[in-house]
Structure 1
Amino acid sequence: MNKAFVKETEQENDDPQEALIPKGLKNYMTLQGYQVLRKELEHLVKVERPDVVSVVAWAASNGDRSENGDYLYGKKRLREIDRRIRFLTKRLEIAEVINPATQPNKDQVFFGATVIYENQDGEEVRVTIVGIDEADPLNGKISWISPVAKALLKAREGDSVHLMTPAGKQELIVLEIIYPDE
């Protein structure tokens, strides 16, 4: 099939998460987050990509490639893997690993802190401020550039901070700040 009829693009910056890092800043992350990305990159380069390349080579040797599902799917998967490898490589190049345990001001909220706060409904919420690539809001890990993290940064236990939401201004009361031990 002619490439003019295919809607796939191979743009360099087509990963939506790539735009999340503010211009000129490092990709702050914890050591655990760095290791997870590094492990994924290593797996893609050493295991997954070679496996797909061998399937594509085998499928190409079977002759007609225009209706060869293994070949077509393999090439598409190879593009996805290469795109992810480029993305991970870029992210790791600009990564700045932060060890929250070495934070000198443990009485304030900074990167890597786990914060227990009370929202205006009286519910206690526990969040850990982590890197963009480590964020998992459903499991209490929020990005350091998220609105909640920005509102909590530099707050101390007992402080009341304001968070602007689509529903209006909310007040959060910092109950506890926890940093990991070394």
Structure 2
Amino acid sequence: MTNRPNYITPSGYSALKAEYDALFAEERPKLVEIISWAAGNGDRSENGDYIYGRKKLRELDRRLGWLSRRMNAAKVVDPANQPDRSRVFFGATVEIADEDDNRRTLMLVGDDEADAGKGKVGWNSPIARALRGASVGDLRRVALPAGEREYEVMAIAYPDA
């Protein structure tokens, strides 16, 4: 892990917590029950249910550990409480336009809640780093895999408190 703060919105933190709670309270006890049943069936070296159950339990425990570490490192930031709404900071919804006037709307969220299909980009992504601190009308260059692009900030919005 890095030493950077793990910024996350309240809804993103709730989603991580809900996944953790569901895995810990529902999925894990079911797996433990299946493994216990399979262990009682005799020879464990050739018991597919037992071997597969143990493998799934290790994967689930690894995911629970990751979620726990991410939640412990999380710094919940509510974008509705942003005092300076004229510039791009964490949680901002930003409309940008490229050189061809193709417009996109992005929301800068925590890396754990990024979803490009929904227009949510991680706070540490190249485009989010380029937009940080920008005001309406600012031009920002972004190095993308397809080459460098220039974007103009058209609008900035934050959720209401």
TM-score under structure 2 normalisation? 0.96
Structure-to-structure mapping, 1:1-182, within 5 angstroms: 19=1, 23-182=2-161
> Structure 2 CA distance, aligned partners of 1:53 and 1:163?
48
SS of corresponding position for 1:66? helix
- Deviations 1:92-117 (Å, cap 9, x if unpaired)? 11100000011111000000001010
Structure 1: runs of 5+ lacking an equivalent: 1-18
- Deviations 1:66-96 (Å, cap 9, x if unpaired)? 2211111100000011001110111111100
SS of corresponding position for 1:177? strand
SS of corresponding position for 2:133? coil
1:52 CA drift (Å): 0.1
Give, as a single letter, the amino acid of the residue that structure 1 aligns with 2:42: G
1:173 CA drift (Å): 0.6
SS of corresponding position for 1:120? coil
Give, as a single letter, the amino acid of the residue that structure 2 aligns with 1:180: P
> Structure 2 CA distance, aligned partners of 1:106 and 1:53?
50
Give, as a single letter, the amino acid of the residue that structure 1 aligns with 2:4: L
> Structure 2 CA distance, aligned partners of 1:149 and 1:165?
12
> Structure 1 CA distance, aligned partners of 2:46 and 2:32?
18
Identity %: 47
Structure 2: runs of 5+ lacking an equivalent: none
Which range moves more in the overlay, 117-126 or 46-55? 117-126
> Structure 2 CA distance, aligned partners of 1:165 and 1:127?
16
SS of corresponding position for 1:127? strand
> Structure 1 CA distance, aligned partners of 2:156 and 2:50?
53
Q: CA RMSD in A?
A: 1.0
1:121 CA drift (Å): 2.7
